[in-house]
Structure 1
């Protein structure tokens, strides 16, 4: 019979695996060419599994946009009909070693980051970040959205890929763990504030971009696009978290979470000691600081794979490192400090690589412990973006959300059943 002491030992093993992971950027590619198991008419989405009939407005909108982008239909109405008729195979990003912010949509011809864990060779994938507002990941599908996606594939992608390959050729890979560590000391928390991390990424890549593409007239526009999008780092950062948590794998007896994800309808978690089983419940409704012109009735339920950042020990768990984030998500700098302190109560340990200056360089709370969540009644806090509940409307704001307890209770019951045999 599994005892508390055994679980603590298993969690210690799981945490050490997580802390030992070394994620790095190694390349870019088109989703259909590099993501394992990617089918011809497949679209990946954020969160746990869901059917078209139960999809939230933002995912419906993003799927509509992806179909238009891929050329499978030429009007939004035809695109929705194409999806409703069962022409598409839908699957969670997490089932294919991938992650996606908000709707998390990945279609075959979208460019993706390729992140590799240096020790194991495991890989993860994430799309390129479009920016804020009316974008695909927020469920928008206007002509402007589709045109931007085509530009990103036809111009941004080849230039960026060329520069990254030059960088990797010279150095072996770009360490994302190092960038995250540095950015926490510069005011980022790595979920809704990625300004420092994006700056560090650009600083790392631009010399190689110039070396590889100095004669390309599009180089200036590419650099300006990245520099004008403070969230550009979010997607490779999420993939770094994903491959690091995947490196934990199955650890018998461990109650440490390896996945938290939302699809705008359901919230789901996975646990290291329960072999990639999903435990789900209704997604929470975020308390957001609204953009002008929107009301609380416009806000969709919580959505996105970006909760992987909190599962990794940053994002909402590192709010104390980013007092300025409250200008975007609401609250006060003291609230940010208090949220981080509270999260220590539900974690296996701390990340010695990710430290918070305002807490005397204490490591971020890392390794969410399912048992501690249920025993304390404290659920993980996220700072998140919010999409309009209607397809096509885009982002309405950003704010704070707590993960609902029901999924944790279900997982705890399954954990007890599994280890009391």
Structure 2
């Protein structure tokens, strides 16, 4: 175009980056070509260099092939709830005076208030101490071995505590011949997963171990196990996202369990108590969704070259991730504070930073990744209007390697949930995983004070990118 042509014709614009400028020009009938581009979110020179090396076509092709293998394992998994047993009887290596917790590894000295409170309660539950004061002294003495649930094939919500004497649900991924474990959801109110530790908490746990768990175990044997993928698929169509809303899936699992429980029960009152407990707890299915997620993700670890996240978890102090292509290594950063709504009488000043292994459900494409399926959750967790729930899921598509065609969302024309969090996409875009979460009081023994959403910290993913580069031998 010559200078004279420029004066006689309208402008032709190339817009790079923010789409708003292009949209404004189009509204004014200006011819515009929009190039979708943004600079990488990280400012770390080393991370930028490794990221560039990993996105070189030949390297990226190798990563994409590994990621496709992981996606096939994830979508091809066949998780079944097959039993309930004491953790000490089924979890390899879980010894005496050992307490497993949520999140990446952490020492007693760095644990948050709810975690310490729950540990004191667990010690009393196991009769290692007579009261909470003695229990806390024992925990601080070094006599208790602390380790993450993830190191033992387990997951647990919030504080996530597991000991030998606690019953766990057993899920087998038939496709990969592996098993995973999780405790039974305690119900609502003051509970150990939120740091509760008084007599009512301990008594409820002992009732679960002594009465509910054996009945569930016999019922699952009678039923021959329960397929979980179909329950998830139906739950998504009924308004659940499997983290903060499990109303539908709890009802569906109740339909599977109740006839078998009735068939094996020899005590009508015991049966009534068990059914009433499950029916009164809308979050009963949460722990089942979590252990299902663990059974799906464990087989993807040690997939050489993969950039897909294998686990995300938090302990109230740190947030940690594992990546399929980097084995058992943890990439850890300070955990963030949830933003949400609080119960009457509580505020953000009372809240503890985020905690729990429940982010395993986001790792498989549920929870915050499937919020479009559960618009009611957006209001419950303070995430905005119901219509905004769709936006959360759409953003998660931008950082995942694929979609799960078996788990679809009606409000998005039955598109599959975002599946396979790609650390390269996270770091390049600056879009971090969105997580639905409960909020615990920062002091031991108080319990839940609200619910909200929280973001995974970007530094975890930056560390993972660098480690993956080292594994693949790229030269930044």
- Of 323-332 and 62-71, more deviation after overlay is shown by 323-332
Match of 1:223 among 261, 267, 275: 275
1:115–1:243 CA contact under 8 A, matched in 2: yes
CA shift for structure 1 position 40: 0.8
- How far apart, in 2, do the equivalents of 1:42 and 1:323 lie? 40
- How far apart, in 1, do the equivalents of 2:260 and 2:111 lie? 41
| Equivalence for 1:335 | 388
After superposing on structure 2, the runs of 4+ consecutive aligned residues of structure 1 that deviate more than 2 Å are: 214-217
CA shift for structure 1 position 58: 1.2
TM-score, normalised relative to structure 2: 0.86
In the TM superposition, 1:316-335 aligns within 5 A as 316-330=368-382, 331-335=384-388
In the TM superposition, 1:365-376 aligns within 5 A as 365-376=418-429
| Equivalence for 2:398 | 345
In the TM superposition, 1:126-275 aligns within 5 A as 126-168=182-224, 173-275=225-327
- How far apart, in 1, do the equivalents of 2:263 and 2:210 lie? 20
Per-residue Cα deviation, 1:215-235 (whole angstroms, up to 9, x for no partner): 442101100000000111111
Match of 2:354 among 293, 302, 327: 302
1:21–1:247 CA contact under 8 A, matched in 2: no
- How far apart, in 2, do the equivalents of 1:271 and 1:258 lie? 5
Does residue 412 of structure 1 match 2:468?
no
Per-residue Cα deviation, 1:204-225 (whole angstroms, up to 9, x for no partner): 1111111111544210110000
SS in 2 for 1:260: strand
- How far apart, in 2, do the equivalents of 1:275 and 1:247 lie? 11
SS in 1 for 2:154: coil
- How far apart, in 2, do the equivalents of 1:217 and 1:110 lie? 23
Larger Rg, first or second structure (1 or 2): 2
Gaps of 5+ in 1: none
2:301–2:323 CA contact under 8 A, matched in 1: no
1:30–1:110 CA contact under 8 A, matched in 2: yes
Gaps of 5+ in 2: 1-53
1:382–1:400 CA contact under 8 A, matched in 2: yes
Does residue 122 of structure 1 match 2:178?
yes
- How far apart, in 1, do the equivalents of 2:147 and 2:267 lie? 41
C-alpha RMSD of the superposition: 1.1
